[in-house]
Amino acid sequence: MRRILALALLWPGLALGQPREFSCVGAEALEDDVFAVPFQQGSDRLRDVARSGIEAAAALAKAEPHRNICVLGHADRRLGAESSTQLAARRARAVSQALSERGVERDRIRAEARVTAFSGRVQEPGARAVTIVVMPAAPREAQR
């Protein structure tokens, strides 16, 4: 067991970018510090219109480094759950990468795909969007 742990720590890049422990459960119900990133139908490419939401979220995240970020890609169940969820996941990854490129530490970002039917916040055309939620600070983190 120790040998496996040692190898994992020595393997390039494996120990880097380990996510902080936090959950995005309930993130879709929050209303403060929420940013929308629209996408064209069927596409996972970021467009210029996405820039303002990403830059605003990145600025807030950098100003308040004790807060984590949930990036929620929204899938539309009516389009086929599997392919739509995969598209939502690719969109969420694209947005999380863009946040990282703007200086937000990768271990503070969690990207997830969500199915619209289970999210009260997002309706059509929200299924073609990603929501960035800068999570409230955990009580012990806010005291630091």
Give the confidence band of 19 by pLDDT, cuts at 50, 70, 90: low
pLDDT tens digits, one per residue of 20-76 = 788 898 898 899 999 999 998 888 999 999 899 999 999 999 999 999 999 999 887
Give the number of C-alpha atoms closer than 13 A to the C-alpha of residue 139, restricted to the C-beta side: 0
* pTM > 0.95: yes or no: no
Q: Which residue(s) pair with 134 in the sheet?
A: 69
Rounded CA-CA distance 85/115 in Å is 7
pLDDT tens digits, one per residue of 30-39 = 999 999 999 9
Asked whether residue 143 carries a pLDDT value surpassing 60, the answer given is: no
Q: Give the burial class of 18: count Cβ atoms within 10 A of its Cβ; 0-12 exposed, 13-18 middle, 19 or more buried.
A: exposed
Residue carrying structure tokens 């480094």: 65
Q: Which two tokens stand for residue 87?
A: 């598209």
DSSP 8-state class, residue 136:
P
List domains and CATH numbers for the chain: 22-142 (3.30.1330.60)
Give the number of C-alpha atoms closer than 13 A to the C-alpha of residue 117, restricted to the C-beta side: 8
Rounded CA-CA distance 55/98 in Å is 9
**Beta carbons of 99 and 57 less than 8 angstroms apart:** yes
